[in-house]
Structure formats: structure tokens, C-alpha cells
Amino acid sequence: MKILVTGCQGQVGSALAALLPQALPAYEIIAVDRTQLDLSDFGRIRELMQALKPALVINAAAYTAVDQAETEVAQAMRINGDAPGVLAEQAKQIGAALIHFSTDYVYDGSKQGAWVETDATVPLSVYGRSKLAGEQAIAASGVPHLILRTSWVYGLTGKNFLLTMLRLAQTRDTLGIVADQIGAPTWSHTLAEATLAVIRRAGAPHQMAGLSGIYHCCAAGHTSWFGFAQAIFAHPAITRRPVLNAITTADYPTPAVRPKNSVMDIRKFEAAFGPLPSWDSALDACLRDVGTV
């Protein structure tokens, strides 16, 4: 049986491509990057799905340039909103299941306390709207699917807050970090492990129908971007330690509006598939791999 992983050069896609082949030896893992499967080319999606006929598709590809999406609306909507629907329609046709990643940015951040999966979605940005449209297209297709809403993804490759902090610390003695947005920093490897837990729990892709739906899937606990930065620079592997100043969202304006509260309740995922690590223990594990910086 085949598992098709899209976006295999991305943070989550590369973590999946590294973990799944050795963890699931009974499956053939076919990990494709943008050059092999460009999600904006719907004809190519159909062609590849019909040629490979995977039992499971894991869609880790997405348009993730949150600020750029404010001006590249059509492209963000095509890749995040429409393409997942084409993948889902194809998966349904060939009897496959679909695991898809979505985002905390479907919420408006106004809630006091953690968001639950049934809360109203009110995205504040084009990116959030495009991801929500993708979720809706998948659900409407009727394919067996899991939508894993995650947040604040980081790892040792790609573009993310952790690597930005380490890069800035090479040249700056002081950093201003936003302290009034809270969420759960989530290691890309945690998401690969969580996806593996889903596949193992389902037993086989065609048995995923009973598990279909939306799940919050991010690290346990929460912090602010400022707290995340403090934890990064407190780690023994990191030797350059700039002075960190807490600033507000208003001090650091961006084209896309971010939710103030991105904290998601993960009890539904944990009840179905097992525990997720705390954000700080995952950060510690991630940085243990980094060597001394």
C-alpha cells in the first residue's frame, strides 16, 4: 500500500518523509515536492493520484507566506483553498483517505481560554480564510479525512521563529519580541509522530472514515512569542543570548492580522490518538540535536 506525502521539502513534509519510511515498513512512502506535484496544477493532481492510487494522502504542502497572502490572494486561495478539494475528490474516487494540516489562524483569537474544534471560525487574514476554505472543501467531498489544526510550527529546517531567533542573535544584542500573542509552539517532528499515531490507531487507511473530522494537534501548554524566545535562549545548547524586550503586537505591525489567543484544546486528539508532548519538552528535544550555537 502506498502513502503519498505532499510538500516534502517543507517543515512538516520533511519530518514525515524522514519518519514514516522506517516507522511504517509495510507501506511504500512516496514523498513529493513542489516540482513533482505543484498543487496549483489541478490536472497534475488528478494525473498523479490516478497513476499512483495511494491508500492514504498526507497533504503537508501549503501556501504558508502569511503576510504575502494578503496581496497574493488568488494564489493562496488556489493552493490552500481549492487544491485540497481536488486532492479530496480524487482520494474519494480511488478509495483513499486524506490527512490534511490546517491552522490556528482559522480563529479570531478573541476567546478567553482554549479554542475547541466546535468553536466558530472567523479568520482574520487571507491565509486563515484560504486554509478554512481548504478544510471546508475536504469535508464537503465526503472522503475519509482528518484535518489536524496546528500552530506555531518550528524545526531545524525551513522558515520559522526558532531559526529566525538564532539568526538574529548572531548580529543583534537586543531583540524586541511580541508578548501579547499566545499559542503553542509545535515542533515539526511532533506533528510527524502525531500523524504516525493516527495511522497506527486507524489500523488501515480505509478504516479512517470512523475517525473523520477536525482535531487540534499541537504541543500541550502554551506561551507567548516572548516566552518562546526566552525558552530558546535559556537552552544550554544556545550560547549567544541577546537581551529580550517584551513588545506588543501594535509595536510590530504586519500586513496580516494574527489572532491574540491561538491556544487550542487538544483533548479530542489525545483521547483518540494518545498524548502530545508539552511545548517546552519538545523544544528541549529539538535543540538537543542542534549542537552548540
Three state DSSP letters for 133-199: HHHHHHHHHCCCEEEEEECCEECCCCCCHHHHHHHHHHHCCEEEEECCCEECCEEHHHHHHHHHHHH
Q: Which is nearer to ligand NAP, 67 or 240 (CB)?
A: 67
Residues 147-206 close enough to bind ligand NAP by CB under 6 A: 150-153, 158
Residues 221-280 close enough to bind ligand NAP by CB under 6 A: none
Q: List the beta strands (DSSP E) in the chain.
A: 2-6, 28-31, 56-59, 97-103, 145-150, 153-154, 174-178, 182-183, 186-187, 213-216, 223-224, 243-247
Q: Which is nearer to ligand NAP, 2 or 34 (CB)?
A: 34
Q: Which is nearer to ligand NAP, 159 or 241 (CB)?
A: 159
Query: Which SS3 state, helix, strand or coil, does residue 3 take?
Result: strand
- Decide if residue 141 touches ligand NAP (CB under 6 A): no
Cell digits of residue 275: 498524548
Q: Which of 170, 173, 285, 167 is nearest to 219 (CA)?
A: 285
- Which residue stretch of 3-11, 17-25, 91-99, 285-293 sits at the interface with ligand NAP (rule: CB under 6 A)? 3-11
Which candidate in 63, 127, 154, 215 is catalytic?
Answer: 127
Q: Which helix (H) or strand (E) holds 288?
A: helix 279-288
Q: Which is nearer to ligand NAP, 85 or 158 (CB)?
A: 158
Write the interaction track for ligand NAP spanning residues 64-83; mark x where CB under 6 A is met and - where it is not: x--------------x----
Q: How far apart are CA 286 and CA 154, in angstroms?
A: 9
Closest distance to ligand NAP from the beta carbon of 37 (Å): 6
Told to judge if 127 belongs to the known catalytic residues of this protein, a careful annotator would answer: yes
Among 3, 4, 5, 10, binds ligand NAP (CB under 6 A): 10
- Decide if residue 84 touches ligand NAP (CB under 6 A): no
Closest distance to ligand NAP from the beta carbon of 155 (Å): 8
Per-position b or e across 170-192, b if 16+ CB within 10 A of its CB = eeeeebbbbbebbbbbbbbbbbb
Q: Which of 219, 63, 225, 223 is nearest to 128 (CA)?
A: 63
How many beta carbons lie within 10 A of that of residue 286, not counting itself? 21
Residues 14-43 close enough to bind ligand NAP by CB under 6 A: 34, 37-40
- Which residue stretch of 60-68, 116-124, 173-181, 208-216 sits at the interface with ligand NAP (rule: CB under 6 A)? 60-68
- Which residue stretch of 58-66, 195-203, 231-239, 246-254 sits at the interface with ligand NAP (rule: CB under 6 A)? 58-66
Which residues of the chain form contacts with ligand NAP (CB under 6 A)?
A: 7, 9-13, 34, 37-40, 60-64, 79, 101, 103, 131, 150-153, 158
Residues with a known catalytic role: 127
